[in-house]
Structure 1
């Protein structure tokens, strides 16, 4: 698999592009973590409410148990405390629900902050890099065989601009059909250079 071009300028651009994509991904993840932490700060009042409500409920129930021990009227005295304890439980539950809602929102917000910009970048950059890798890997295999060099030359004839072809030969298609080695090699070299590969590594077709 050919990951990078042979030519220095194009290889440098590809490496810089890959590093930039990694840096962007790392930045988005870092930003998502920060956003999560900041959003979770909003859960503090809910946690405080939950803790205060739970503590109040425990104390009210303890007071109710103590009141229940009073002779004759203990049962009547304990009921208000039990009712107040239930109300305190409701406050604790509301605080817990608020904290959980903030936690859920913080997770989804952090995921959106990370995934959306990363997906936007990779949806453009990855297909471009994959097209190069697939094409370059195929060209590397072709340049190592005579038949492959022939195919590279044919690809150049069908895909390169006429101005480029006419600079190589007045009749590139005819020379290719005639098996003209210099022309075939020149055509294949154009195709390899267009892909960022070194023609010097290409096998020389036999006469």
Structure 2
């Protein structure tokens, strides 16, 4: 499956910024963002600096866990027989952060969320590439955090919090061919694959990026 990427960015919690991209968000809105939402916004805003048209196109967000830290807090309150905050509850669903992003950008295009276990990154990329059949450009975002206690032993991905965002296009940018194969191989690092993919797209470097999860191998052939 051939597509093109006009840009790709990575954002992590320990990144240093001369000027934090979140400063462009009104303070009243910024205060309501969870750490998960802030991480996603940082990645998107970095990409928009050079590609402002991406603020008005379809968006696909892939996240294995979503804002799970917020959900866990709500579950603890429920277990303690405490009243739940309607605002916190409404923001705990997987597509809530896309609602916040839509309002921030004034984007009325279609927005989709994907959660597919250890295959989430690849399935999100697949969904975004399929949406290119209907739209000339699609913004693909992957954001995740390590799950809080008591879940790490049951769901180890990702190794650390990060956002990957790329502007996919039907016809312009760095060519990327995406394919998948069944393979009984050991799991490989998601964040290493995402960093390699972002670096290859940014540098227009001809290379192959591979991710193995859950007995499946995905390959991104970049450039060439």
Hey, which of these two has a bigger chunk of strand by percent? 2
Hey, which of these two has a bigger chunk of helix by percent? 1
Higher relative contact order (CA closer than 8 Å, sequence separation 6+): 2
TM-score of the pair, normalised by structure 2: 0.23
Q: Which has the greater radius of gyration?
A: 1
